[in-house]
C-alpha cells in the first residue's frame, strides 16, 4: 500500500532507485535457492551460496563436486564463510547443522630462524656455529663475550630471546601480583 | 513438495515471465496446477533449422529434491530429432541428467533445449532411427524434420512431396500417424513404407 503511494507520488527517479535496490539485493542472492544468502559462504570461483544450500548440493553430488554456477571444482574445505556486521543471531554458525566450515586464519610467519637458540646453552651455540658457519662463529663468539648473554647471528633471533626473557619476567610479575592480591 | 523447491519455482516462474525471451515469444512457461510441481513449457523452433517457426510444447515435472536434481522434461509435441524420441518425446540432454547444476533454472533449461534443436548430437542419440538418418541421409532428415514441424508444431513451411506420400498411404487404408512414421523411417520410399506398415 505505502509502496504504491510512493511510486505514484514520485516519478521516474524513484523507479530507477527501486531497480538499483533490486539489483543490489540480487547481487547477494544465493545461487541455489535464489533468496538472500543465509549463513553465506563463497566458493574459490567467487560464487555465493547459503551454506545449507551448498552443503545439500555437495551431499547430492558426492562423486562429482562442482560449483553449481560455473562447474569449477569445489569442496567443503575451500569455501570461505562471510561474516557481515550486525548479525542478529550471535550463535556460532559452525555449531549449526549442517556445519559451516570455519574461516581459515593463517598465522603470520615467524621471524626467528633458530627459535631454540637462546636456550641451547653457550656450548651448544658455539659448537653449531663453529662448524656450520665459521665466520659467524667468530662473530657470534665475540658478540657473546662483549654482551654477556647468548645472541644469534641470524636477524630476529636476539629479539626472540629477549622476548622470551621478557615474557618470563612478566609471568613472574603476574604471579607475584596475584599472590599480593590474594594476601591483601 | 519440499519448501525450497516450491519457493524456487515461484521465483523462477516470475523470472521467466518477465524475461526478454518471453517478450520475443521464444520461450514460455505456464502452470498446469497451482502446486508448482507440474508446468507446461513452450519453445519456439530456432531460425535456420527445420524446426523454424514451430511451437514445441514441453511437460515439466519438478521433483521434491529440486533444484538439487533436475526437472523431468519431455516433449509433448511430436518432433523428429536425433536426441528426442519420436515415440515418447523423451530427451537425451546432459544437463537434464548428470550435468545438471543447482544454479540452473527453468529459463536455462528451455534455452538449452532450444539450443539442442539448433545443434543435434547424433553420436549421443535418443532415437536411433532418426540419428542414423541424420548421419547417412542428412537432406532426407532435414525434410522429414520440417514435415513433422509443419504437421505437429504449426510450422509455416510445407513439403508437398512428403504430404502427398502420406496421403497416398492413407488412401491405401493405413492410419495417418502410422503412415507418417513408416515413411519417415524408410527414407520416404512408398513401397518399403507400405511393407513396414503391414509387418
Ligand atoms: Zn540458498
Ligand atoms: Zn563457480
In the prediction, which pLDDT does A92 show? 46
Q: Is residue A119 part of a domain?
A: no
Supply the ipTM of this predicted assembly.
0.84
Q: End of a domain among B95, B118, B141? A: B118
- The CATH number of the domain where A29 resides is what? 3.30.40.10
In the prediction, which pLDDT does A157 show? 52
Categorize the per-residue pLDDT at A96 as very low, low, confident or very high, splitting at 50, 70 and 90. low
Whether the bond between B67 and the residue before it is cis, its omega within 30 degrees of 0, is yes
Same domain, A6 and A64: yes
Q: Are B163 and B151 in contact (CB under 8 A)?
A: no
Same domain, B8 and B85: yes
The verdict on a CB contact (< 8 Å) between B68 and A71 is no
Q: Is residue B16 part of a domain?
A: yes
The verdict on a CB contact (< 8 Å) between A32 and B67 is yes
pLDDT in tens, B33-68: 888 899 999 999 999 999 999 999 999 999 999 999
Categorize the per-residue pLDDT at A131 as very low, low, confident or very high, splitting at 50, 70 and 90. very low
DSSP codes joined into one string, B58-92? EEEE--TTTTTS--EEEESS---BTTB-TTT-BB-
Q: End of a domain among B90, B118, B146? A: B118
Q: Is residue B47 part of a domain?
A: yes
Per-residue b or e along B89-106, where b marks 16 or more CB atoms closer than 10 Å to that residue's CB: bebbbebbeeebbbbbbb
Q: Is residue A117 part of a domain?
A: no
Same domain, B186 and B145: yes
Name which of A92-106, A132-146, B48-62 the model is least confident about: A132-146
Q: How many separate domains does chain A show?
A: 2
Length of chain A: 184
Burial of A91 (0-12, 13-18, 19+ CB in 10 A): exposed
Planar angle of CA B59, A71, B104, nearest 5 degrees? 25
The verdict on a CB contact (< 8 Å) between B7 and A56 is no
Same domain, A80 and A142: no
Q: End of a domain among B93, B118, B143? A: B118
B44 three-state secondary structure: strand
Q: Are B13 and B71 in contact (CB under 8 A)?
A: no
Q: Is residue A125 part of a domain?
A: no
- Nearest ligand for residue A74 CA: 2
pTM value is 0.70
Same domain, B90 and B72: yes
Instruction: Label the pairing between strands A48-50 and B55-61.
Output: unpaired
Residues from chain B contacting residue A31 (CB–CB below 8 Å): 102-103
Categorize the per-residue pLDDT at B72 as very low, low, confident or very high, splitting at 50, 70 and 90. very high
Q: How close does chain B come to A37, measured CA to CA in Å?
A: 13
For A47, the domain range is 2-13+23-86
Instruction: Compute the mean pLDDT over every residue in chain A, rounded to the nearest whole number.
Output: 66
Q: Is residue B123 part of a domain?
A: no
Q: Is residue B159 part of a domain?
A: yes
Instruction: Compute the mean pLDDT over every residue in chain B, rounded to the nearest whole number.
Output: 94
Nearest to residue A40, comparing CAs of A74, A82, A80, A84? Answer: A82
SS3 track for A34-102: CCECCCEEECCCCCEEEHHHHHHHHHHCCCCCECCCCCCECCHHHCEECCCCCCCCCCCHHHCCCCCCC
- The CATH number of the domain where B39 resides is what? 3.10.110.10
Categorize the per-residue pLDDT at A134 as very low, low, confident or very high, splitting at 50, 70 and 90. very low
> Given CB atoms, is A62 within the 8 Å cutoff of chain B?
no
Alpha-carbon distances, residue A142 vs A56, A129, A151 (angstroms) = 66, 12, 10
In the prediction, which pLDDT does A181 show? 76
Same domain, A82 and A7: yes
For B9, the domain range is 3-118
Name which of A176-180, B104-108, B147-151 the model is least confident about: A176-180
Same domain, B161 and B136: yes
Name which of A45-49, B35-39, B100-104 the model is least confident about: B35-39
In the prediction, which pLDDT does A110 show? 58
Q: Are A85 and A64 in contact (CB under 8 A)?
A: no
Same domain, B135 and B53: no
Q: How many separate domains does chain B show?
A: 2
Q: Are A53 and B68 in contact (CB under 8 A)?
A: no
Q: Is residue A141 part of a domain?
A: yes
Amino acid at each position: 500500500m505505502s509502496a504504491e503511494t510512493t511510486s505514484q507520488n514520485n516519478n521516474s527517479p524513484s523507479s530507477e532507485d527501486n531497480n538499483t535496490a533490486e539489483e543490489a539485493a540480487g547481487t547477494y542472492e544465493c545461487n541455489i535457492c535464489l533468496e538472500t544468502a543465509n549463513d553465506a559462504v563463497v566458493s574459490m570461483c567467487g560464487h555465493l551460496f547459503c551454506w545449507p544450500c551448498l552443503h545439500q548440493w555437495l551431499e547430492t553430488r558426492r562423486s562429482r563436486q562442482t560449483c553449481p554456477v560455473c562447474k569449477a571444482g569445489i569442496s567443503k574445505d575451500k569455501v570461505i564463510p562471510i561474516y557481515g556486521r550486525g548479525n542478529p543471531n550471535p550463535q556460532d554458525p559452525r555449531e549449526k547443522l549442517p556445519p559451516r566450515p570455519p574461516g581459515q586464519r593463517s598465522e603470520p610467519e615467524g621471524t626467528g630462524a633458530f627459535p631454540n637458540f637462546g636456550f641451547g646453552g653457550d656450548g651448544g651455540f658455539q659448537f653449531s656455529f663453529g662448524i656450520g658457519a665459521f665466520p659467524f662463529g667468530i662473530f657470534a663468539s665475540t658478540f657473546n663475550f662483549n654482551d654477556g648473554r647468548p645472541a644469534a647471528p641470524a636477524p630476529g633471533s636476539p629479539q626472540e630471546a629477549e622476548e622470551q626473557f621478557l615474557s618470563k619476567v612478566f609471568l613472574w610479575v603476574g604471579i607475584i601480583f596475584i599472590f599480593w592480591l590474594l594476601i591483601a | 513438495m519440499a519448501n525450497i523447491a516450491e519457493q524456487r519455482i515461484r521465483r523462477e516462474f516470475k523470472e521467466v515471465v518477465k524475461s526478454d525471451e518471453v517478450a520475443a515469444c521464444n520461450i514460455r512457461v505456464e502452470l498446469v496446477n497451482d502446486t508448482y510441481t507440474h508446468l507446461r513449457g513452450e519453445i519456439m523452433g530456432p531460425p535456420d533449422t527445420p524446426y523454424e517457426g514451430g511451437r514445441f510444447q514441453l511437460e515439466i515435472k519438478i521433483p521434491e529434491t529440486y533444484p538439487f536434481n533436475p526437472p523431468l522434461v519431455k516433449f509433448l509435441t511430436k518432433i523428429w530429432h536425433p536426441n528426442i524420441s519420436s515415440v515418447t518425446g523423451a530427451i537425451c540432454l546432459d544437463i537434464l541428467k548428470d550435468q545438471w547444476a543447482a544454479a540452473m533454472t527453468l529459463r536455462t533449461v528451455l534455452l538449452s533445449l532450444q539450443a539442442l534443436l539448433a545443434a543435434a548430437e547424433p553420436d549421443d542419440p535418443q532415437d536411433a532411427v532418426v540419428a542414423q538418418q541424420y548421419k547417412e541421409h542428412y537432406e532426407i532428415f532435414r525434410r522429414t524434420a520440417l514435415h513433422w514441424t509443419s504437421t505437429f508444431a504449426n510450422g509455416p513451411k510445407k513439403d508437398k512431396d512428403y504430404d502427398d506420400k502420406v496421403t497416398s498411404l492413407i488412401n491405401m487404408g493405413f492410419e495417418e500417424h502410422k503412415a507418417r512414421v513408416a515413411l519417415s523411417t524408410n527414407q520416404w520410399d512408398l513401397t518399403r513404407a507400405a511393407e513396414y506398415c503391414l509387418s
